[in-house]
Amino acid sequence: TFRTIGDNLKDRFDGASRVSVSNRPSENLPPRPAANPHSPSINSLLAGGRSHGPRRNRYNFQLKPYNQDHKTPGSRDLVYLDASPNFCDKNPRLGIHGTQGRQCNDTSPGVEGCV
């Protein structure tokens, strides 16, 4: 249902992690575990069971966690490169008008916040 999809997207959004890009060549990456050919993945089901061979990193870069204490993101993790702007303060370059006429708590996700 639409609600289920929305809830799943919200969960992934809430679990998104900030990353930075490393130009380390992809051939230096640790090997990924081989998929079990007898266990169909959702991608193979959608592709009609066709095997496309091993997936290659076509962009030749690696995403690494911005905070080194976090795990390296997986292929299904939602990531972002830049932190969200502060909507409390005016920033004409980004088209942000800032808040006027009310107190703004820039760290709150609630209605009094600007994140």
76 with 111, same domain?
no
SS (H, E, C) the chain: CHHHHHHHHHHHHHCCEEEEEECCCHHHCCCCCCCCCCCCCHHHHHCCCCCCCCCCCCCCCEEEECCCCCCCCCCCCCEECCCCCCCCCCEHHHCECCCCCCCCECCCCCCCECC
Percent of the chain with pLDDT over 70: 63
Q: What is the pTM of this model?
A: 0.51
Residue 45: per-residue pLDDT: 44
26 with 73, same domain?
yes
Number of domains in the chain: 2
68 with 108, same domain?
no
Render pLDDT for 55-85 as a digit per residue (tens, 0 to 9): 555 667 788 999 889 888 888 888 999 888 8
Residue 46: per-residue pLDDT: 45
12 with 44, same domain?
yes
Higher pLDDT, 77 or 107: 77
